[in-house]
Structure 1
Amino acid sequence: MTTGTGTGTGTGTDTARGGWRLAPARLRRLGRRAVAMEAAGWRSIGRAVFRRPTVPRGASAHRYDGPIRSVLVVFLVLSAVEIPMVDLLTHRWPAVRFPLLVLGIWGATAMLGMLCGYLTRPHAVGPDGIIVRNGGEVEVVLPWDDVASVARRRRALAGARPTSLTGPDDDRILNLVVQDATDIDIQLERPTAIRLPNGPATVTQVRIAVDDGAAFLDAVRRHIP
Protein backbone atom coordinates (compact mmCIF):
# COMPACT_ATOMS: atom_id res chain seq x y z
CA MET A 1 0.00 0.00 0.00
CA THR A 2 2.83 2.39 0.86
CA THR A 3 4.51 1.69 -2.46
CA GLY A 4 1.31 2.28 -4.35
CA THR A 5 0.72 5.60 -2.62
CA GLY A 6 4.24 6.73 -3.22
CA THR A 7 4.06 5.84 -6.90
CA GLY A 8 0.76 7.64 -7.32
CA THR A 9 2.07 10.81 -5.72
CA GLY A 10 5.19 10.76 -7.82
CA THR A 11 3.21 10.29 -11.04
CA GLY A 12 0.92 13.19 -10.18
CA THR A 13 3.87 15.45 -9.44
CA ASP A 14 5.64 14.44 -12.63
CA THR A 15 2.49 15.09 -14.63
CA ALA A 16 2.09 18.53 -13.09
CA ARG A 17 5.74 19.36 -13.78
CA GLY A 18 5.36 18.10 -17.34
CA GLY A 19 2.34 20.35 -17.79
CA TRP A 20 4.33 23.36 -16.56
CA ARG A 21 7.16 22.49 -18.94
CA LEU A 22 4.74 22.22 -21.86
CA ALA A 23 3.06 25.56 -21.14
CA PRO A 24 5.94 27.79 -22.40
CA ALA A 25 6.28 25.64 -25.53
CA ARG A 26 2.56 25.94 -26.21
CA LEU A 27 2.72 29.70 -25.72
CA ARG A 28 5.64 29.92 -28.13
CA ARG A 29 3.69 27.95 -30.74
CA LEU A 30 0.67 30.21 -30.28
CA GLY A 31 2.90 33.27 -30.55
CA ARG A 32 4.50 32.03 -33.76
CA ARG A 33 1.07 31.21 -35.18
CA ALA A 34 -0.22 34.70 -34.34
CA VAL A 35 2.79 36.32 -36.02
CA ALA A 36 2.37 34.08 -39.08
CA MET A 37 -1.32 34.98 -39.36
CA GLU A 38 -0.52 38.69 -39.06
CA ALA A 39 2.20 38.46 -41.72
CA ALA A 40 -0.08 36.48 -44.05
CA GLY A 41 -2.76 39.14 -43.71
CA TRP A 42 -0.38 41.96 -44.63
CA ARG A 43 1.00 40.00 -47.59
CA SER A 44 -2.53 39.40 -48.82
CA ILE A 45 -3.40 43.10 -48.51
CA GLY A 46 -0.27 43.98 -50.49
CA ARG A 47 -1.17 41.52 -53.24
CA ALA A 48 -4.71 42.91 -53.40
CA VAL A 49 -3.43 46.50 -53.66
CA PHE A 50 -1.04 45.62 -56.50
CA ARG A 51 -3.50 43.14 -58.08
CA ARG A 52 -1.14 40.21 -57.92
CA PRO A 53 -3.10 37.04 -57.14
CA THR A 54 -0.94 33.97 -56.54
CA VAL A 55 -1.85 31.95 -59.62
CA PRO A 56 0.99 30.21 -61.53
CA ARG A 57 1.46 30.92 -65.23
CA GLY A 58 -0.81 28.74 -67.34
CA ALA A 59 -3.05 27.80 -64.39
CA SER A 60 -6.70 28.70 -63.82
CA ALA A 61 -7.97 30.27 -60.60
CA HIS A 62 -10.91 28.83 -58.70
CA ARG A 63 -12.59 30.82 -55.94
CA TYR A 64 -13.97 29.16 -52.83
CA ASP A 65 -15.04 32.04 -50.59
CA GLY A 66 -18.50 32.61 -52.09
CA PRO A 67 -20.52 31.39 -49.08
CA ILE A 68 -18.70 33.68 -46.63
CA ARG A 69 -17.66 36.63 -48.81
CA SER A 70 -20.67 38.81 -48.00
CA VAL A 71 -20.32 38.02 -44.27
CA LEU A 72 -16.68 39.12 -44.28
CA VAL A 73 -17.57 42.34 -46.13
CA VAL A 74 -20.32 43.14 -43.62
CA PHE A 75 -18.00 42.58 -40.65
CA LEU A 76 -15.30 44.68 -42.32
CA VAL A 77 -17.71 47.57 -42.85
CA LEU A 78 -18.97 47.34 -39.27
CA SER A 79 -15.38 47.33 -37.97
CA ALA A 80 -14.58 50.42 -40.04
CA VAL A 81 -17.70 52.26 -38.83
CA GLU A 82 -16.93 51.33 -35.23
CA ILE A 83 -13.58 53.16 -35.20
CA PRO A 84 -14.89 56.77 -35.54
CA MET A 85 -17.76 55.95 -33.18
CA VAL A 86 -15.33 54.80 -30.49
CA ASP A 87 -13.23 57.91 -31.09
CA LEU A 88 -16.28 60.13 -30.63
CA LEU A 89 -17.58 58.38 -27.51
CA THR A 90 -14.24 58.16 -25.70
CA HIS A 91 -12.71 61.46 -26.81
CA ARG A 92 -12.63 62.83 -23.23
CA TRP A 93 -10.74 59.83 -21.82
CA PRO A 94 -7.43 59.37 -23.66
CA ALA A 95 -6.43 56.40 -21.46
CA VAL A 96 -9.48 54.55 -22.77
CA ARG A 97 -9.66 56.12 -26.20
CA PHE A 98 -6.23 55.22 -27.60
CA PRO A 99 -6.17 51.53 -26.61
CA LEU A 100 -9.66 51.07 -28.04
CA LEU A 101 -8.69 52.85 -31.26
CA VAL A 102 -5.61 50.67 -31.65
CA LEU A 103 -7.68 47.56 -31.02
CA GLY A 104 -10.35 48.68 -33.49
CA ILE A 105 -7.84 49.50 -36.23
CA TRP A 106 -6.07 46.19 -35.68
CA GLY A 107 -9.39 44.31 -35.88
CA ALA A 108 -10.40 46.03 -39.11
CA THR A 109 -6.97 45.39 -40.62
CA ALA A 110 -7.11 41.71 -39.61
CA MET A 111 -10.56 41.38 -41.20
CA LEU A 112 -9.30 43.08 -44.38
CA GLY A 113 -6.30 40.74 -44.47
CA MET A 114 -8.57 37.72 -44.15
CA LEU A 115 -10.80 38.93 -47.00
CA CYS A 116 -7.80 39.72 -49.20
CA GLY A 117 -6.35 36.29 -48.42
CA TYR A 118 -9.41 34.67 -49.98
CA LEU A 119 -9.40 37.08 -52.92
CA THR A 120 -5.72 36.76 -53.83
CA ARG A 121 -5.10 33.11 -52.99
CA PRO A 122 -7.62 30.98 -54.90
CA HIS A 123 -7.19 27.31 -55.69
CA ALA A 124 -5.21 26.82 -58.90
CA VAL A 125 -5.22 24.05 -61.52
CA GLY A 126 -2.40 24.08 -64.04
CA PRO A 127 0.16 22.06 -66.00
CA ASP A 128 2.14 21.17 -62.87
CA GLY A 129 -0.77 20.06 -60.71
CA ILE A 130 -3.29 21.41 -58.23
CA ILE A 131 -2.66 24.04 -55.56
CA VAL A 132 -5.27 24.10 -52.81
CA ARG A 133 -5.50 26.93 -50.32
CA ASN A 134 -7.46 28.29 -47.42
CA GLY A 135 -6.99 32.02 -47.00
CA GLY A 136 -3.55 33.45 -46.43
CA GLU A 137 -2.14 30.59 -44.34
CA VAL A 138 -2.74 27.24 -46.02
CA GLU A 139 -1.18 26.26 -49.33
CA VAL A 140 -0.75 22.63 -50.39
CA VAL A 141 0.86 21.78 -53.73
CA LEU A 142 -0.28 18.50 -55.29
CA PRO A 143 1.71 17.51 -58.43
CA TRP A 144 -0.18 15.42 -60.97
CA ASP A 145 2.02 12.43 -60.17
CA ASP A 146 0.53 12.44 -56.65
CA VAL A 147 -3.10 12.77 -57.79
CA ALA A 148 -5.04 9.53 -58.36
CA SER A 149 -8.50 10.99 -59.00
CA VAL A 150 -10.61 14.12 -58.61
CA ALA A 151 -14.35 13.86 -58.04
CA ARG A 152 -17.14 16.30 -57.34
CA ARG A 153 -18.91 15.39 -54.12
CA ARG A 154 -20.48 17.73 -51.62
CA ARG A 155 -19.91 16.77 -47.99
CA ALA A 156 -21.55 18.47 -45.02
CA LEU A 157 -19.09 18.85 -42.15
CA ALA A 158 -21.06 20.67 -39.47
CA GLY A 159 -18.85 22.25 -36.84
CA ALA A 160 -15.61 21.40 -38.64
CA ARG A 161 -12.71 23.83 -38.50
CA PRO A 162 -11.70 25.57 -41.73
CA THR A 163 -8.59 23.38 -41.78
CA SER A 164 -8.88 19.97 -40.16
CA LEU A 165 -7.54 16.42 -40.34
CA THR A 166 -9.84 13.43 -40.00
CA GLY A 167 -9.53 9.65 -40.26
CA PRO A 168 -7.03 7.13 -38.87
CA ASP A 169 -3.29 7.77 -38.92
CA ASP A 170 -2.76 5.57 -41.99
CA ASP A 171 -5.61 7.19 -43.95
CA ARG A 172 -5.70 10.85 -42.98
CA ILE A 173 -7.91 13.32 -44.84
CA LEU A 174 -7.22 17.04 -45.08
CA ASN A 175 -10.45 19.04 -45.07
CA LEU A 176 -10.36 22.67 -46.25
CA VAL A 177 -13.87 23.63 -45.22
CA VAL A 178 -15.94 26.69 -46.13
CA GLN A 179 -19.33 27.17 -44.48
CA ASP A 180 -19.31 23.66 -43.00
CA ALA A 181 -18.88 21.86 -46.34
CA THR A 182 -16.49 20.66 -49.02
CA ASP A 183 -17.26 20.10 -52.72
CA ILE A 184 -14.29 18.29 -54.30
CA ASP A 185 -12.52 15.06 -53.26
CA ILE A 186 -8.89 14.70 -54.39
CA GLN A 187 -7.67 11.14 -53.88
CA LEU A 188 -3.89 10.79 -53.76
CA GLU A 189 -1.80 7.96 -55.21
CA ARG A 190 -0.01 7.36 -51.92
CA PRO A 191 0.32 8.86 -48.42
CA THR A 192 1.75 12.30 -49.08
CA ALA A 193 3.56 14.60 -46.68
CA ILE A 194 2.22 18.16 -46.51
CA ARG A 195 2.87 21.18 -44.33
CA LEU A 196 0.11 22.92 -42.39
CA PRO A 197 0.18 25.93 -40.01
CA ASN A 198 0.21 23.57 -37.02
CA GLY A 199 2.98 21.38 -38.43
CA PRO A 200 3.58 18.61 -40.97
CA ALA A 201 1.05 15.88 -41.70
CA THR A 202 0.71 12.89 -44.01
CA VAL A 203 -2.57 12.53 -45.90
CA THR A 204 -4.15 10.23 -48.48
CA GLN A 205 -6.99 12.52 -49.55
CA VAL A 206 -7.73 16.23 -49.72
CA ARG A 207 -11.27 17.63 -49.66
CA ILE A 208 -11.81 21.25 -50.64
CA ALA A 209 -14.60 23.76 -51.16
CA VAL A 210 -15.01 25.53 -54.51
CA ASP A 211 -17.56 28.03 -55.80
CA ASP A 212 -17.86 26.33 -59.20
CA GLY A 213 -17.22 22.60 -59.00
CA ALA A 214 -17.95 22.01 -62.70
CA ALA A 215 -15.34 24.58 -63.80
CA PHE A 216 -12.80 23.03 -61.42
CA LEU A 217 -13.32 19.56 -62.91
CA ASP A 218 -13.13 20.95 -66.46
CA ALA A 219 -9.74 22.48 -65.62
CA VAL A 220 -8.55 19.17 -64.14
CA ARG A 221 -9.56 17.32 -67.35
CA ARG A 222 -7.59 19.82 -69.45
CA HIS A 223 -4.38 19.34 -67.50
CA ILE A 224 -4.35 15.89 -65.90
CA PRO A 225 -2.00 13.53 -67.78
Structure 2
Amino acid sequence: MTAVVVPRRTGRQLVAHLARRAIAMEIGVWQSLHRFLFRRPRVPAGAVAFTYHRAVLPLIVTFIVLSVLELVVVDLVVHRWPVVRVPLLVLGIWGVTWMLGFLAALVTRPHSVGPDGIHARYSTDVDVALPWSAITAVTRRLDTRAEKAPRLTRDAAGAVTLHLWMQDRTNVDVELDQPVSVRLPEGTTTVHRIGLFADDPAAFLAAVRQHC
Protein backbone atom coordinates (compact mmCIF):
# COMPACT_ATOMS: atom_id res chain seq x y z
CA MET A 1 0.00 0.00 0.00
CA THR A 2 1.09 3.56 -0.65
CA ALA A 3 0.26 6.76 1.17
CA VAL A 4 -2.45 8.98 -0.24
CA VAL A 5 -0.81 12.25 -1.19
CA VAL A 6 -2.59 15.32 0.14
CA PRO A 7 -2.44 18.31 -2.24
CA ARG A 8 0.22 20.79 -1.15
CA ARG A 9 -0.94 24.16 0.13
CA THR A 10 0.57 27.55 -0.47
CA GLY A 11 1.98 29.43 2.51
CA ARG A 12 -1.18 31.46 2.93
CA GLN A 13 -3.40 28.39 2.57
CA LEU A 14 -1.31 26.53 5.15
CA VAL A 15 -1.59 29.37 7.68
CA ALA A 16 -5.36 29.56 7.13
CA HIS A 17 -5.67 25.78 7.47
CA LEU A 18 -3.68 25.72 10.72
CA ALA A 19 -5.75 28.59 12.12
CA ARG A 20 -9.02 26.83 11.29
CA ARG A 21 -7.63 23.61 12.73
CA ALA A 22 -6.62 25.29 16.00
CA ILE A 23 -10.04 26.92 16.36
CA ALA A 24 -11.84 23.65 15.60
CA MET A 25 -9.74 21.78 18.15
CA GLU A 26 -10.38 24.42 20.81
CA ILE A 27 -14.13 24.32 20.19
CA GLY A 28 -14.04 20.52 20.21
CA VAL A 29 -12.30 20.46 23.60
CA TRP A 30 -14.97 22.59 25.26
CA GLN A 31 -17.83 20.78 23.55
CA SER A 32 -16.40 17.46 24.72
CA LEU A 33 -16.05 18.67 28.30
CA HIS A 34 -19.69 19.84 28.18
CA ARG A 35 -20.82 16.46 26.86
CA PHE A 36 -18.79 14.63 29.50
CA LEU A 37 -20.03 16.74 32.41
CA PHE A 38 -23.67 16.41 31.35
CA ARG A 39 -23.30 12.76 30.29
CA ARG A 40 -24.32 13.32 26.71
CA PRO A 41 -22.19 11.00 24.56
CA ARG A 42 -22.51 11.42 20.81
CA VAL A 43 -24.45 8.23 20.11
CA PRO A 44 -27.45 8.03 17.74
CA ALA A 45 -30.80 6.98 19.20
CA GLY A 46 -31.14 3.21 19.31
CA ALA A 47 -27.43 2.62 18.68
CA VAL A 48 -24.91 0.86 20.93
CA ALA A 49 -21.66 2.65 21.82
CA PHE A 50 -18.24 1.01 21.62
CA THR A 51 -15.23 2.67 23.21
CA TYR A 52 -11.72 2.70 21.77
CA HIS A 53 -9.73 4.73 24.32
CA ARG A 54 -8.82 2.19 27.00
CA ALA A 55 -5.40 1.43 25.53
CA VAL A 56 -4.30 5.06 25.80
CA LEU A 57 -6.15 5.91 29.02
CA PRO A 58 -3.19 5.22 31.39
CA LEU A 59 -0.88 7.37 29.27
CA ILE A 60 -3.32 10.30 29.09
CA VAL A 61 -4.04 10.15 32.83
CA THR A 62 -0.29 10.11 33.54
CA PHE A 63 0.20 13.22 31.41
CA ILE A 64 -2.67 14.98 33.18
CA VAL A 65 -1.31 14.15 36.66
CA LEU A 66 2.21 15.25 35.71
CA SER A 67 0.87 18.48 34.23
CA VAL A 68 -1.05 19.27 37.42
CA LEU A 69 2.05 18.59 39.53
CA GLU A 70 4.14 20.77 37.22
CA LEU A 71 1.56 23.55 37.49
CA VAL A 72 1.73 23.46 41.30
CA VAL A 73 5.54 23.38 41.40
CA VAL A 74 5.95 26.25 38.93
CA ASP A 75 3.37 28.31 40.81
CA LEU A 76 5.27 27.79 44.07
CA VAL A 77 8.54 28.86 42.44
CA VAL A 78 7.25 32.06 40.81
CA HIS A 79 4.50 33.09 43.23
CA ARG A 80 6.52 36.16 44.31
CA TRP A 81 6.49 37.58 40.78
CA PRO A 82 2.87 38.16 39.69
CA VAL A 83 3.92 39.36 36.23
CA VAL A 84 5.44 35.93 35.59
CA ARG A 85 3.10 33.89 37.75
CA VAL A 86 -0.23 34.88 36.20
CA PRO A 87 0.64 34.10 32.54
CA LEU A 88 2.24 30.78 33.54
CA LEU A 89 -0.74 29.91 35.70
CA VAL A 90 -3.18 30.67 32.88
CA LEU A 91 -1.10 28.70 30.39
CA GLY A 92 -0.78 25.75 32.78
CA ILE A 93 -4.50 25.63 33.53
CA TRP A 94 -5.29 25.84 29.82
CA GLY A 95 -2.92 22.94 29.13
CA VAL A 96 -4.51 20.72 31.78
CA THR A 97 -7.99 21.66 30.55
CA TRP A 98 -7.02 20.85 26.97
CA MET A 99 -5.81 17.37 27.93
CA LEU A 100 -8.99 16.75 29.95
CA GLY A 101 -10.96 17.86 26.91
CA PHE A 102 -9.01 15.50 24.64
CA LEU A 103 -9.78 12.59 26.97
CA ALA A 104 -13.43 13.69 27.12
CA ALA A 105 -13.52 13.76 23.30
CA LEU A 106 -12.43 10.12 23.15
CA VAL A 107 -14.94 9.10 25.81
CA THR A 108 -17.95 11.03 24.49
CA ARG A 109 -17.41 10.21 20.82
CA PRO A 110 -17.31 6.40 20.68
CA HIS A 111 -17.96 4.20 17.68
CA SER A 112 -21.58 3.12 17.44
CA VAL A 113 -23.62 0.40 15.79
CA GLY A 114 -27.34 0.92 15.28
CA PRO A 115 -30.34 0.59 12.95
CA ASP A 116 -28.95 3.21 10.55
CA GLY A 117 -25.45 1.74 10.30
CA ILE A 118 -22.03 2.25 11.81
CA HIS A 119 -20.46 5.47 13.02
CA ALA A 120 -16.66 5.26 13.01
CA ARG A 121 -14.99 7.96 15.06
CA TYR A 122 -11.72 9.26 16.40
CA SER A 123 -11.96 12.09 18.94
CA THR A 124 -13.27 15.24 17.24
CA ASP A 125 -11.21 14.59 14.10
CA VAL A 126 -13.21 11.85 12.40
CA ASP A 127 -16.92 11.06 12.37
CA VAL A 128 -17.92 8.81 9.49
CA ALA A 129 -21.53 7.68 9.06
CA LEU A 130 -21.67 4.34 7.21
CA PRO A 131 -25.19 3.21 6.25
CA TRP A 132 -25.76 -0.54 6.02
CA SER A 133 -26.46 -0.16 2.30
CA ALA A 134 -22.86 0.95 1.77
CA ILE A 135 -21.26 -1.85 3.82
CA THR A 136 -20.18 -5.13 2.23
CA ALA A 137 -18.61 -6.84 5.26
CA VAL A 138 -17.38 -6.19 8.77
CA THR A 139 -14.61 -8.50 9.94
CA ARG A 140 -12.23 -8.79 12.84
CA ARG A 141 -8.69 -8.23 11.64
CA LEU A 142 -5.66 -7.04 13.58
CA ASP A 143 -3.56 -4.56 11.61
CA THR A 144 -0.41 -3.12 13.12
CA ARG A 145 0.93 0.21 11.99
CA ALA A 146 4.42 -0.06 10.52
CA GLU A 147 6.88 2.83 10.58
CA LYS A 148 4.22 5.43 11.41
CA ALA A 149 2.11 4.59 8.38
CA PRO A 150 -0.28 7.40 7.37
CA ARG A 151 -4.00 7.50 8.11
CA LEU A 152 -4.86 7.15 4.43
CA THR A 153 -3.38 4.50 2.14
CA ARG A 154 -4.09 3.34 -1.39
CA ASP A 155 -3.75 -0.25 -2.63
CA ALA A 156 -2.67 -1.45 -6.08
CA ALA A 157 -6.26 -1.30 -7.35
CA GLY A 158 -6.61 2.32 -6.30
CA ALA A 159 -8.91 1.66 -3.32
CA VAL A 160 -8.33 4.05 -0.40
CA THR A 161 -8.34 2.83 3.21
CA LEU A 162 -8.86 5.08 6.21
CA HIS A 163 -6.99 3.73 9.25
CA LEU A 164 -8.27 4.99 12.60
CA TRP A 165 -5.13 3.94 14.46
CA MET A 166 -5.21 3.55 18.22
CA GLN A 167 -1.83 2.75 19.77
CA ASP A 168 -0.70 1.92 16.21
CA ARG A 169 -3.38 -0.77 15.80
CA THR A 170 -6.78 -1.41 14.28
CA ASN A 171 -8.77 -4.59 14.92
CA VAL A 172 -11.98 -4.24 12.86
CA ASP A 173 -12.25 -3.86 9.09
CA VAL A 174 -15.29 -2.32 7.42
CA GLU A 175 -15.39 -3.04 3.69
CA LEU A 176 -17.61 -0.77 1.65
CA ASP A 177 -19.77 -1.70 -1.33
CA GLN A 178 -19.59 1.88 -2.53
CA PRO A 179 -17.07 4.64 -1.73
CA VAL A 180 -17.93 7.08 1.03
CA SER A 181 -16.88 10.72 1.29
CA VAL A 182 -15.00 11.40 4.52
CA ARG A 183 -14.20 14.77 6.02
CA LEU A 184 -10.79 14.79 7.68
CA PRO A 185 -8.67 17.61 9.16
CA GLU A 186 -6.42 17.44 6.11
CA GLY A 187 -9.35 17.66 3.68
CA THR A 188 -12.26 15.69 2.26
CA THR A 189 -11.50 12.39 0.53
CA THR A 190 -13.28 9.27 -0.69
CA VAL A 191 -12.56 5.94 0.99
CA HIS A 192 -13.41 2.34 0.11
CA ARG A 193 -12.49 0.69 3.40
CA ILE A 194 -12.12 1.69 7.05
CA GLY A 195 -9.96 0.06 9.69
CA LEU A 196 -10.93 0.98 13.24
CA PHE A 197 -10.05 -0.05 16.78
CA ALA A 198 -12.66 -1.19 19.30
CA ASP A 199 -11.89 -2.02 22.92
CA ASP A 200 -14.26 -5.00 22.60
CA PRO A 201 -14.16 -6.11 18.95
CA ALA A 202 -16.15 -9.30 19.67
CA ALA A 203 -19.07 -7.28 21.07
CA PHE A 204 -18.77 -4.85 18.15
CA LEU A 205 -19.14 -7.67 15.61
CA ALA A 206 -22.01 -9.21 17.60
CA ALA A 207 -23.86 -5.90 17.39
CA VAL A 208 -23.20 -5.73 13.64
CA ARG A 209 -24.64 -9.24 13.15
CA GLN A 210 -27.90 -8.11 14.75
CA HIS A 211 -28.42 -5.71 11.86
CA CYS A 212 -27.00 -7.72 8.96
Structure 2 residues not aligned, in runs of 5+: 1-7
Query: Who is 1:184 aligned against?
Result: 172
Deviations 1:107-165 (A, max 9, x none): 1011001100111111000000000100122111000011010000001103437x710
* Per-residue deviation, 1:81: 2.2
Normalised TM-score (structure 2): 0.91
From 193, 209, 214, the counterpart of 2:197: 209
Question: Is 163-172 or 110-119 further displaced after alignment?
Answer: 163-172
Rg comparison, structure with higher value: 1
Structure 1 residues not aligned, in runs of 5+: 1-18
Tell me if 1:95 matches 2:95: no
Query: Who is 2:37 aligned against?
Result: 49
Separation (CA, whole Å) in 2 of partners of 1:194 and 1:138: 8
Following TM superposition, where does structure 1 have runs of at least 4 consecutive aligned residues deviating by more than 6 angstroms? none
Tell me if 1:30 matches 2:18: yes
Q: Is the 8 A contact 1:123 1:132 kept in 2?
A: yes
Larger relative contact order (C-alpha < 8 A, sep ≥ 6)? 2
Query: Who is 2:5 aligned against?
Result: none
Q: Is the 8 A contact 1:124 1:131 kept in 2?
A: yes
Determine helix, strand or coil for the equivalent of 1:92: coil
Q: Is the 8 A contact 1:160 1:177 kept in 2?
A: no
* Per-residue deviation, 1:223: 1.3
* Per-residue deviation, 1:75: 0.9
From 62, 77, 93, the counterpart of 2:50: 62
Give the helix-richer structure, 1 or 2. Answer: 1
Separation (CA, whole Å) in 1 of partners of 2:103 and 2:201: 21
Determine helix, strand or coil for the equivalent of 1:66: coil
Structure 1 residues 30, 128: CA separation in 2 closer, same or farther (over 3 Å shift)? Answer: same
Determine helix, strand or coil for the equivalent of 2:162: strand
From 130, 134, 150, the counterpart of 2:122: 134
Query: Who is 2:154 aligned against?
Result: 167
Separation (CA, whole Å) in 2 of partners of 1:85 and 1:99: 15
Separation (CA, whole Å) in 2 of partners of 1:175 and 1:123: 14
Separation (CA, whole Å) in 2 of partners of 1:195 and 1:137: 9
Determine helix, strand or coil for the equivalent of 1:28: helix
Paired residues, number: 204
Tell me if 1:125 matches 2:105: no
Tell me if 1:76 matches 2:64: yes
* Per-residue deviation, 1:92: 2.1
Task: Name the Cα RMSD after superposition.
Answer: 1.7
* Per-residue deviation, 1:96: 2.4
Give runs of aligned pairs for residues 143-158 of structure 1, distance below 5 A.
Answer: 143-158=131-146
Separation (CA, whole Å) in 2 of partners of 1:92 and 1:45: 33
* Per-residue deviation, 1:103: 1.7
Normalised TM-score (structure 1): 0.86
* Per-residue deviation, 1:35: 0.7
* Aligned sequence identity (%): 47
